Amino acid sequence: MRPADLHLKSNCFAVAPVPRDHAGEWSGIVTDVLSGNRRYLAIWFPFLPADRLRRNPPKSSASALEGVPFAFVEKVKGALRLTGVDARAQSFGMVPGLTLADARARVPQLLAFDADDHADRDWLKRLAQSCLRYTPMVAFDGPDGLILDITGCAHLLGGEEKLTADVSRRLAMIGMTTRTAVAGTSAASRALARYSQTDGDERAAIRRLPVTALDLEAEISLALIRAGLKTIGDMAIRPMAALAARFGGETVERLRHLLGEVERPIVPIHPPAPVMAQRRFAEPIARTEYTLTVLGELAAEVGLRMEQEHVGGRHFVATFFRSDGLSRTLSIETGRPVRDADAVIRLFRERIDGLSDPIDPGFGFDLIRLEVPVIEQLPAAQLKLEGEATIDVQAAALIDRLSTRLGRDRVFKLAPCDTHIPEQAQLALPAVEACSPVAAWPVTDTGEPPARPIHLFDPPQPIEVIAEVPDGPPRRFRWRGTWHEMRRFEGPERIASEWWKRRDGVIGKTGLTRDYYRIEDERGRRFWVFRHGLFGEKPDPKWYLQGLFA
């Protein structure tokens, strides 16, 4: 592992032998983490919706966006109000909250588009994925920002300034307007990015921030200003107890976090994987075949690490980082833990072959990462004397290939459930999903006829029944327009609902008692029918056909 491949995992490391010429750098990383000197990079996108729309404009408005101010609107209390603007509209004095009528009265050429929060969120998620090239600790900061924990990572690009410049450059390549700041706490970096810029003295820059940087409720911020506390520095020199008594404990907590007196860890969008390997390239690569070759080498590397720990992977995630700042992620799952590189690459090839949208390398990939977020114990196993895999292993490999090619929700397996209700006695789960059965499959004694039919209807199908006595078996019944005369029967077998779920219900729900009969008609066909409810439970119980015996 090269120094560029180091990744922090919470408070621990996965460290390989360190070359002598890099030993000092690694020592600095360990010192930073263990000493608690954390560093955060905040990225704010002041025109996120506008930049997103300009990158992927509607076909009908693609040419109209050039040089024309535009904004995003949504209906608020019966009036259309601005929720976001582009840089040109902002220069004309347009701000969020202004009504569309007032905005167009000031700027008649203003274009208006419907706000799309889901599209903005998806685009922000893609931007967050692209920032994973710098650190595995990337978190959302509201609807228009990101927070990166770059502790121990900045030296890989020559320091915090060069890392920040590289982030801004890549985001600018895809048309994003950004403001960035680095500080010792996530709150400080966020506030500096949105309200100010550091000039070399981080402590002084934080104290010059306005009290609105605390993101408190409008009433509390107004009360602080009226009390003469206009900046963070004004609040910092006041006794904390007095501030808490007058403005609330949350105000003091946010102030202390901003000043670095308390720590609030960020929640990353993807927790660091237990096992990970990556490869950087001096020159971007664009050939898919070579990309898969590199992915195979990474699979062999993580397989070797997992073998040392006697574990195997159930979920593999490959991320391809493009040189223009975007990324593409592919993932596969397996029904059993594996660490064989050839098996992993076969599944990734199946995944790529089944894509409707092929991987677009753009100007090439400059970083490929393979993570194993889900691992399980995988001790050594004895092979057959012939050297072939067992039937179970072959079946698991086939299930993995089918699930990868067709989709995890297209290949199912049945798991038994601890209930007497026939149509609820099993669950259909994705075949690659790990699950522990809550009950054992019922086994019929040798030589005895099956007590349950192989073919079940869910939901049970209604039938018309003529019985000799109200609570007796059916004498005749009609199903799908055909009458069946009963020749012999067996039953009843009474199945009541669980007492903790018992309530009046409809067919398919727990509630009423069921009396089941195994019936053979005059032509030898065998049916499994039941009466839903006793005459004491409802005045007119209905009959249903549950299944067919072979």
pLDDT at 358 over 60: yes
CATH of the domain at 145: 3.30.70
Alpha carbons 309 and 437: distance in angstroms, whole number: 27
Its domain, for residue 400, covers 275-404
In a domain, 74, yes or no: no
Contacts of residue 132, defined as CB under 8 A and 6 or more positions apart, other chains included, come to 138, 270, 319, 321, 327, 369
Q: What pLDDT sits at residue 148?
A: 94
Cα 201 → chain centroid: 39
**How far apart are the C-alpha atoms of 167 and 130, rounded to whole Å?**
10
Cis peptide upstream of residue 459 (ω within 30 degrees of 0): yes
CA–CA dist 366, 348 (Å, integer): 19
pLDDT class of 17 with cuts at 50, 70, 90: very low
Q: Does 37 score more than 60 pLDDT? A: yes
Answer yes or no: is pLDDT of 428 > 50.
yes
Tell me whether residue 423 is in a domain.
no
Query: What pLDDT sits at residue 384?
Result: 61
pLDDT band at residue 420 using 50, 70 and 90 as cut-offs: confident
Task: Evaluate whether residue 237 is within a structural domain.
Answer: yes
Residues 250 and 279 in one domain: no
Q: Are residues 287 and 360 in the same domain?
A: yes
Residues 408, 413, 415, 421: is their CA dihedral positive or negative? Answer: positive
Domain boundary among 202, 232, 259: 259
Q: Are residues 130 and 191 in the same domain?
A: yes
d(CA 483, CA 296): 64
For residue 186, pLDDT over 50 is answered with yes
Choose one of 383, 404, 425: the last residue of a domain.
404
Nearest Cα to 135, choosing from 297, 323, 225, 4?
A: 4
Boundary of a domain, candidates 341, 370, 404: 404
242, 345: one domain: no
* pLDDT at residue 435, as a whole number: 60
Q: Is 491 within 8 Å of 516 (Cβ atoms)?
A: yes
For residue 437, the model assigns a pLDDT of 58
Domain count, the chain: 3
Is the domain of 356 the same as that of 396?
yes
pLDDT digits 0-9 by tens, 477-520: 999 989 999 898 988 888 887 766 655 544 444 467 889 999 99
| pLDDT tens for each residue of 225-252 | 999 999 999 999 999 999 999 999 999 9
Residues 386 and 292 in one domain: yes
Average pLDDT over the chain reads 82
Cα gap 430→91, rounded to integer Å: 53
- Among 192-201, 243-252, 397-406, 438-447, which stretch is predicted with the lowest mean pLDDT? 438-447
For residue 77, what pLDDT is reported?
A: 83
Question: Out of 4-18, 148-162, 208-222, 525-539, which region has the weakest mean confidence (pLDDT)?
Answer: 4-18
Same domain assignment for residues 171 and 211: yes
What letter does residue 146 receive in the DSSP assignment? Answer: E
Same domain, 291 and 387: yes
Q: Is the pLDDT of residue 24 over 70?
A: no
pLDDT given for residue 21 in this prediction: 36
Residues 254 and 287 grouped into a single domain = no
Mean pLDDT within 380-391: 60
Distance in Å from the first CA to the final CA of the chain: 61
- Whether 72 is in a domain gets the answer no
Does 22 reside within a domain?
no
Report d(CA 335, CA 338) in Å as an integer: 9
Q: Do 368 and 394 belong together in one domain? A: yes
3-state secondary structure 373-388: EEEEECCCCCCCCCCC
CATH number at residue 317: 3.30.1490.100
Residues linked to residue 43 through DSSP beta bridges, in sequence order:
146, 180
Does any domain span residue 175?
A: yes
Tell me, yes or no, whether 337 lies in a domain: yes
Percent of the chain with pLDDT over 70: 85
The band of 257, judged by pLDDT with boundaries at 50, 70 and 90, is: very high
| Together in a domain, 138 and 229 | yes
Distances (CA, A) of 220 to 81, 187, 210: 25, 18, 13
Provide the β-strand partners of residue 41.
148, 182
Q: Are 245 and 163 found together in one domain?
A: yes
